[in-house]
Amino acid sequence: MTEKLDREQLSTEQQNVHSLDLDSRSVAEILTIINIEDAGVAEAVHKVLPEVEKAVELAVEVIKGEHRVFYVGAGTSGRLGVLDASECPPTFSAPPEWFSGIIAGGREALTKSIEGAEDKPEDAVRDLDEAGMTAGDLVVGIASSSTTPYVLRAMEYGRESGCGTVFLICNPAPLVQVDVDVLIPVDVGQEVITGSTRMKSGTATKLVLNMISTATMVRLGKVYGNLMVDLRAVNEKLVDRGTRIISKLTSLPYEESHKLLQEAEMEVKAAVVMHARSCNYDEAKILLEEQSGFLRPFLRDDSV
């Protein structure tokens, strides 16, 4: 960990031949170059879908076992981890402890650069301990370059503590040898601005994290068809969305669906079960629990 790493061999640290004269291009040309480079990110992610699948399977298993998933990163990678984790509770009514984001430098690093935070591996141990990591959890390390000491130590500490580990990088292979359960190497190639991994690497990272959390939530019964049935209507937009979902799944008029949502304490899934089984809210919650939260047993397959 203390020896000098040859980061020059990382694809994200090499110059992109398509943007060598970027500073002499017009704005329209600059935007076109960026757009063309971004277009290849989805294909790079497509190539590692089998590895992403393994990560999802681990996450589902961990959460079913009443354990937690920790995203750990520094800089852009850390911010994207915190973002993805923080959006799970409002989107899926998921317990906030299911997915947690940890960033080198702490909360202050979310809005500004904390110089040197990523180079303090000992802080990763402290931060995971403070977050309550225990054996059986899953540590997802996020580092575009694959070399971030903070992230590497987090995964190492996770393994030492009996946790599963996933390593998400944006290069063909890690520059530092790591022992993890799943390696997700998204080869995004050279960045438009050499080494600026907030660009293509950041996009790839967000795509993969969205996949991990979303697919996990689907497998845990938080989605019916492609409908966000486990949302809790806590604002005007969500009340409207929840009402429309109930109307679609029950064929009730909008106003009746809205009333049903209110009777279900603003929980869409409970409202649908109340209608399907002609029961009250408490009974609906029990029925859902018996089905591990899955709504499909209460509806015909062609309801979507």
d(CA 54, CA 38): 25
Task: Report whether pLDDT(2) > 70.
Answer: no
- Quote the pLDDT of residue 57: 98
Pick the catalytic residue from 87, 97, 256, 263: 87
Three-class DSSP category at 230: coil
Q: What is the mean pLDDT of residues 140-154?
A: 96
Fold that domain 236-303 belongs to in CATH: Helicase, Ruva Protein; domain 3 (1.10.8)
* Residue 302 pLDDT level (bands cut at 50, 70, 90): very low
Phi and psi torsions of 301, nearest 5°: -65, -25
- Quote the pLDDT of residue 303: 43
Query: Is 74:151 a contact under the CB 8 Å cutoff?
Result: yes
Task: Report whether pLDDT(298) > 80.
Answer: yes
Please say if 118 is a catalytic residue: yes
| CATH number for the segment(s) 7-219 | 3.40.50.10490
Please say if 265 is a catalytic residue: no
Pick the catalytic residue from 13, 51, 118, 156: 118
> pLDDT tens across 30-51, in order?
999 999 999 999 999 999 999 9
- Percentage of residues of the chain with pLDDT beyond 70: 97
d(CA 75, CA 115): 10
- Quote the pLDDT of residue 297: 95
Q: Residue 139: name the closest of 212, 223, 42, 45 by CA.
A: 212
* Residue 276: partners with Cβ closer than 8 Å, 6 or more residues away: 250, 298, 299
> pLDDT tens across 180-227, in order?
999 999 999 999 999 999 999 999 999 999 999 999 999 999 999 999
* Residue 146 pLDDT level (bands cut at 50, 70, 90): very high
The residues spanned by each domain of the chain are 7-219, 236-303
- Quote the pLDDT of residue 301: 52
> pLDDT tens across 81-95, in order?
999 999 999 889 899
Which amino acid makes up residue 102?
I
* Residue 304 pLDDT level (bands cut at 50, 70, 90): very low
> pLDDT tens across 148-180, in order?
999 999 999 999 999 999 999 999 999 888 899
d(CA 150, CA 74): 7
> pLDDT tens across 234-287, in order?
899 999 999 999 999 999 999 999 999 999 999 999 999 999 999 999 999 999
Q: What angle do CA 19, 20, 21 make, to 5 degrees?
A: 90
- Quote the pLDDT of residue 3: 58
